[in-house]
Amino acid sequence: MQNDLIIISDYCSHCHIEPDFVMMLGEDGLIDVEVRDNVGYFPADQLAALERYAHLYYDLSINVAGIDAIRHLLERMEHMQNEIRRLENELRFYR
């Protein structure tokens, strides 16, 4: 499977965000950042997450720690919704 990479500096100049922000996300483990020959990259499949994080950071003034907390809560909520769906399906089976 090919893992397409996006150059951080190109993405940031196109979207008018700071490369340091992307690097902070990488340091905190919110996205995967890879540096090769002094050039930073991130996987293309994490583009949607990066755009969400940029919205939270730039538009809503939420710091990186807050973004991490929000990400964690959203993942927990998704897990609980999946569990509710599973239990509803199981309940339908017994009706």
Instruction: State the CATH number of the domain containing residue 69.
Output: 1.10.1660
Residue 94 pLDDT exceeds 70: yes
Position 2 scores a pLDDT of 53
Position 59 scores a pLDDT of 95
- Per-residue pLDDT band for 1 (boundaries 50, 70, 90) equals very low
| Tens digits of residue pLDDT in 27-73 | 999 999 999 999 999 999 999 999 999 999 999 999 999 999 999 99
Quote the domain boundaries for residue 14: 5-94
| Tens digits of residue pLDDT in 20-30 | 999 999 999 99
DSSP states along 10-51: HHHHHHT--HHHHHHHHHTTSS--EEETTEEEEEGGGHHHHH
Q: How many domains does the chain have?
A: 1
What is d(CA 3, CA 16) in angstroms, rounded to the nearest whole number? 25
